Amino acid sequence: MGIRTIAVFSEADRGALHVDMASDAIEIGPAPSAGSYLNQEAILEAVEETGAEAVHPGYGFLSENAEFAEKLEESGVKFIGPPISAINLMGDKIRSKKMAVEAGVPVVPGFADPVESGAGAERIAAEIGYPVILKASAGGGGKGMRLVDSASQINEALVSCISEAEASFGDGRVFIEKFISDPRHIEIQVLADTHGNTIHLGERECSIQRRHQKVVEEAPSPFVDQELRGEMGARAVALAAAVDYVSAGTVEFIVDQNHNFYFLEMNTRLQVEHPVTEFVTGLDLVEQMIRIAAGERLEIEQSDVEVNGWAMESRVYAEDPIRGFLPAIGRLTRYKEPMSGVFGTDKSVRIDSGASEGDTISRYYDPMIAKLITHGKTRDAAISQMRRALDEFIVIGVTHNLDFLAALMGHPKFRAGELTTNFISEEFGDRFIPADTSHPDPKILAAVAGVLHGVLEGRRAQISPRHRDGLAATREDMPLDDHWVVILNRTHYPVRLAETNGEQVVLVDGDRFSVSGGWSPEQELFTGAVNGEEICIQVDRNEAGFRFRHYGFLADIRILRPVAAEMLTRMPEKRDTDTSNLVMSPMPGLVVSIDVDEGQEVRLGDKVAVIEAMKMENQLFAECDGVVAKIHCQPGDSVDVDQVIMEFE
């Protein structure tokens, strides 16, 4: 658009990607967000210093802060977003529910006023009926929310909810509403200008969540038909018009299995998942926000909005799926994004990233590294593009969720569109272990491993390899019965290699595979085809052999001669160290509380401590019965991942 942009950054983000991309950049404070990205005065000083005409707040920090928008207005600077009155109305979940009722939008049964005490919470929950959900009035991103199944849980949940809400938003008000079982989370994107024109751009399906935070989004929804889309869109537009909304905004709904929908909240900002709507409508929402802020009319009417194809977004997080998806920190020692255009997917793969190789993922901010978005003519095509792109995405140095996302994309229920907000917990449980993921055909991986091993053997023998289709050939004199054993996650596969009429032929336990493609020992990806089917495998060489990553399946591979492989089966297995008597921090964070004393008797499942990371509280529980022998940390201490907090006798 030819507009000069100035980025603001904290001390921790001095080398961040957005700083490099902007026309100019100004440091506004220390790493903690309270002193930088939430520091209104520092940002206002940056505005004055640079002579900026407008501020786009992004989708975090001050993006829905009416006070900040008001200060900009007083300074004569345009806030690229909705009016202050709309931010105030919709930013308060209690007031927004009342406004929705007045606008004729159905809402979830509940009690809209703040809960004052545990006794009050028990009374309200009994009236509504369990299960209920506690929500911070100023909340968002899953913070300040607790699901309660019975009266015995509600007091503790209320205290925790209020504490988290105060820490995250400076507002401890909490309300209660009925929890809808097996719901879908579906939202409507709206656009409104200053001339009274309001339209919607269809829906996004956001049901794939964990801890109330979105993980995968798509547009359109596989659940929504044309009739439901029209009704939900009309209600969203009516609510936006009722609050004199201007700019881009999102009305979120909970939808039950009978297509009944209930107002959840309105986000008065750009959503993280806006790219899927941009892919299917062809509209740039940020551009639209800027044009609306400049006083321009919308160039399209509701009848002009068309949904073309299907878009899918996966949020790539620095988190540890094995530890229940808890946030992770570290340095991106290797970071390589998927190539747009691979496998003929030109312009069908988009990366919205905030990181570069060498960057550090700190404990100060949200652990999202990037958003990976794909597009296809159909939902299946968008999923296929996503699976290939995830296999190409290389992240080393920080624990991440790429393998989980890949496994999710291949899950039969996900592919069938059978989604609810409980999908992850019901299908994957509290944690995800890549090594436990099944592969549709492990023999394919064994075949590729055999070919790659042949390349290494040829190099070791210092024989100049011939190249066919970009893949180094095996030794010219290698007979068909010269064979190896590929040990893939402890499963043995006899493998024989040969070259027949210029193609690599691999026999894996009697099954024949034709392998073509390109790989050399310096490359991190094998891209090619097996029996004519395109494939991309992430390859990590190690002393023992290879580690493959494909479709969320992690394969540790060793390749031995048959005699050596047989001898390996006789070796005793190494036993894991027993740590059941230790309580260790599952993530880097801050100790909020220690809930037991030395010498106290505890039972399996008793809460013993609370750790806070990225403003979210995580309770730690005893993994066995015992007596607290020693406490190693105190409230206020910073802890690293796996640091021992206490031990039992």
Q: Which are the catalytic amino acids?
A: 265
Burial class (CB in 10 A: 0-12, 13-18, 19+), 634: exposed
Q: Is residue 142 classed as helix, strand or coil in its secondary structure? A: coil
Q: Is residue 64 classed as helix, strand or coil in its secondary structure? A: coil
Cβ–Cβ < 8 Å for 171, 94: no
- Beta-carbon contacts of residue 610 (< 8 Å; ≥ 6 apart): 160, 591, 592, 593, 595, 617, 618, 619, 620
DSSP-derived letter for residue 309 is S
Radius of gyration of the chain from its Cα atoms, rounded to whole angstroms: 27
Cβ–Cβ < 8 Å for 385, 376: yes
- What does DSSP say about strands 198-210 and 184-192: parallel, antiparallel, or unpaired? antiparallel
Q: Is residue 522 classed as helix, strand or coil in its secondary structure? A: coil
Q: Which ranges in 170-284 belong to alpha helices (H)?
A: 226-242, 274-281
Cβ–Cβ < 8 Å for 497, 474: yes
Cα distances from 304 to residues 52, 138, 281, 298, 311, in angstroms, run 34, 35, 10, 11, 19
Cβ–Cβ < 8 Å for 214, 315: yes
- Buried-exposed string 95-110: b where 16+ CB fall within 10 A, e elsewhere: ebbebbeebebebbeb
- Beta-carbon contacts of residue 216 (< 8 Å; ≥ 6 apart): 208, 312, 313, 314, 315, 405, 408
C-alpha 492/C-alpha 486 separation (Å) is 6
β-strand partners of 127: none
Cβ–Cβ < 8 Å for 254, 420: no
- Beta-carbon contacts of residue 643 (< 8 Å; ≥ 6 apart): 584, 585, 632, 633
